[in-house]
Amino acid sequence: MLKSTRRDFVKGASSLALGAAFASPALIEAARAWAAESPWKPEDGAKLRMLRWKRFVQSEGEAFQASLDAFTKATGVEIRLDSEGFEDLRPKAAVAANIGSGPDVIWGIHADAHLYPDAMLDITDVCDHLGGKYGGWYPIAEHYGKGRDGKWINLPITISGNLINYRKSMVQKAGFDKIPDNTADFLKLFQNLKKNGSPGGFALGNASGDGNCWTHWILWSHGGRVVDENDNVVVNSPETVAGLEYVKELGENFVQGTASWLDGHNNKAFLQGACSVTNNGISIYAAAVREGMKDVAEDMDHAFYPVGPVGEPTEFHVAFPMMPYKHTKYPNAVKALLAWLMEKEQYDAFLQGSVGYLSHSLKAFQEHPVWTEDPKRTVFRDVAQRSRSFAHAGTLGYAASTVFADFVVVNMVAEVATGARSPQDAAKRAQKRAERYYKV
């Protein structure tokens, strides 16, 4: 019963959105009312170009487009929206920063704005306004949003959750009702799964999303970290080694081939039933629902990562912030647009359209129905509160981004999980690699 209504709902939502690729009259009305009140008045004749990552789900893309359309109707600012694959966006964002030209706003990923903070427009006023109006930002949003001098240099509009995905039937067969909440039992689960011939597995390849998410969780769960508060590299620590010892045992129970897995592999293996437990966004579930793979959709669920010896959640979720470029000719139009994109009038629809892929970064949206209408989405509601940034204790910047992009943590964990190095050696090597970049 429940399932069929959910599916109908998803279908209904997307077909509705299909018709509404342009804003509904109500949304335009709301935008007009909002524009009249807004402290940011776009320049006359302003035109904006915006580049975003290719939407995950059509309904989100359409909700977003409708929102832009309403903004155009209300303010007269024309917006040209292009989209680009998620990984391919980063070079473009870098080029735009480098040559001081290109799109006015890029909806990017991670903390790219911190790589070229001087190329970013100061949007402190917009973010303060939004934070004040909507119950405040989650700490992680503030961490990503603000540059070193405390000015907001990008808008942390959303965080995309990456959590444990599991097959209920296989986990139950392995003797657990649900994913255990601590790492010790989690290991037992993996051992049992392997024994039952339905192993789980996490990506150990250079998978920028899934690989980074779960390896940082493991590292942090045992108290390890790449750098301390003063950006000293401390990855080679007893805590890290303890985490890696854990990985060694866990890794022995992985499904074959995880060493090669990139972001897409676990989706495929999970949908095919070849992998019982993995980490991912909501995309596997969404695909199962969309493709009518009833068995998979009904048999799967999501859970938080188990908590390690440190006793608190140590999760990493991917931020998708909007980067306003200083080179824009129309800074006020950019500010007005960014403010509008987080106003309730349309953010509600945006969250709804995202069907759990994207989570809110402002506290006021915690009660949004998208999180409760399908209980399998509910855990994704809390990702912003539970997430750390990849720099964690240290500062976001070149060193953190480079260490992250160079897969230092992923490689360290993979070396141990595949048995290529001992935990001690792997930690030592990671220390050396990280030090190179933090020396800068």
Partner 1 sequence: MATTTEAEQVTPVGEDSSWYERLKHNRNWLGFLFMVPAAAILLVFLAYPLGLGVWLGFTDVKVGRPGQFVGFDNYAWLLEDDVFWLSVFNTFLYTVVASIFKFAIGLWLAVLLNRHMPFKSFLRAIVLLPFIVPTVLSALAFWWIYDSQDSVISWTLIEMGLIERPIDFLGDPNNARASVIVANIWRGIPFVAITLLAGLQTISPSLYEAATIDGANEWQRFWRITLPLLTPIIAVVMTFSVLFTFTDFQLIWVMTRGGPINATHLMATLSYQRAIIGGSLGEGAAIATAMIPFLLAAILFSYFGLQRRKWQQGGVDD
Partner 2 sequence: MTEASVGRKAAGREGMAYLESIPRNVVTVYIPLAIIVFVLLFPFYWMGITTLKTNEELYAYRGLKALWVYEPTFENIRHLLFETDYPRWVWNTMFVTVTATFLSLFCAVCAAYGIERLRYKGARTIGMLIFLAYLVPPSILFIPLSIMVFKLGIFDSNWALILTYPTILIPFCTWLLMGYFRSIPYELEECALIDGATRLQILTKIILPLSVPGLISAGIFAFTLSWNEFIYALTFISSAEKKTVPVGAVTELITFDVYNWGGLMAGALLGSLPVAILYSFFVEHYVSSMTGAVKE
Residue of 405, 422, 425, 428 that binds partner 1 (CB under 8 A): 405
Residue of 13, 255, 341, 349 that binds partner 1 (CB under 8 A): 255
User: What is the rounded distance in angstroms from the CA atom of residue 324 to the CA atom of residue 50?
Assistant: 9
Query: From the centroid of its chain, how far is CA 399?
Result: 20
| Residue 193: both structure tokens together | 């799964």
Which of these ranges, 50-58, 129-137, 327-335, 362-370, lies near partner 2 under the rule CB under 8 A?
Answer: 50-58
271 binds partner 2 (CB under 8 A): yes
244 binds partner 1 (CB under 8 A): no
84 binds partner 2 (CB under 8 A): yes
| Residue 225: both structure tokens together | 């970290």
Cβ atoms of residues 199 and 340 within 8 Å? no
Which of these ranges, 14-22, 77-85, 193-201, 432-440, lies near partner 2 under the rule CB under 8 A?
Answer: 77-85
Residue of 18, 21, 33, 99 that binds partner 2 (CB under 8 A): 99
Q: Which residues, 197 to 226, sit near partner 1 by CB under 8 A?
A: 204-208
| Residue 125: both structure tokens together | 């006023």
Residue 278: C-alpha distances to residues 203, 266, 302, 393 (Å): 8, 7, 10, 26
Q: How far is the CB of 81 from partner 2 (least distance, A)?
A: 9
User: What is the rounded distance in angstroms from the CA atom of residue 268 to the CA atom of residue 69?
Assistant: 35
Cβ atoms of residues 226 and 394 within 8 Å? yes
Using DSSP, state whether 209 is helix, strand or coil.
coil
Which of these ranges, 13-21, 37-45, 86-94, 212-220, lies near partner 1 under the rule CB under 8 A?
Answer: 86-94
Cβ atoms of residues 253 and 229 within 8 Å? no
Which of these ranges, 45-53, 68-76, 306-314, 415-423, lies near partner 1 under the rule CB under 8 A?
Answer: 415-423
Residue of 62, 263, 315, 374 that binds partner 2 (CB under 8 A): 263
User: What is the rounded distance in angstroms from the CA atom of residue 243 to the CA atom of residue 412?
Assistant: 11
Which of these ranges, 31-39, 155-163, 382-390, 409-417, lies near partner 1 under the rule CB under 8 A?
Answer: 409-417
Residue of 64, 71, 86, 438 that binds partner 2 (CB under 8 A): 86
Q: How far is the CB of 52 from partner 2 (least distance, A)?
A: 11
Cβ atoms of residues 63 and 292 within 8 Å? no
Beta-carbon count within 10 A of 317 CB: 23
Tell which residue, 218, 181, 198, has the closest CA to residue 416.
Answer: 218
329 binds partner 2 (CB under 8 A): no
Q: How far is the CB of 167 from partner 2 (least distance, A)?
A: 14
Residue of 18, 32, 88, 125 that binds partner 2 (CB under 8 A): 88
Helix (H) / strand (E) element for 84: namely: strand 78-84
Cβ atoms of residues 387 and 142 within 8 Å? no
User: What is the rounded distance in angstroms from the CA atom of residue 124 to the CA atom of residue 152?
Assistant: 5
| Residue 68: both structure tokens together | 């832009």
Residue of 5, 101, 232, 260 that binds partner 2 (CB under 8 A): 101
Residues interacting with partner 1, by CB under 8 A? 87, 90-91, 94, 97-98, 115-116, 118-119, 204-208, 255-262, 265, 268-269, 272, 274-275, 398, 401-402, 404-407, 411, 414-415, 418, 420, 429, 433, 436-437, 440
Residues interacting with partner 2, by CB under 8 A? 51, 53-57, 82-86, 88, 91-92, 94-95, 98-99, 101-103, 209-210, 263-264, 266-268, 271-272, 280-281, 283, 286-287, 291-293
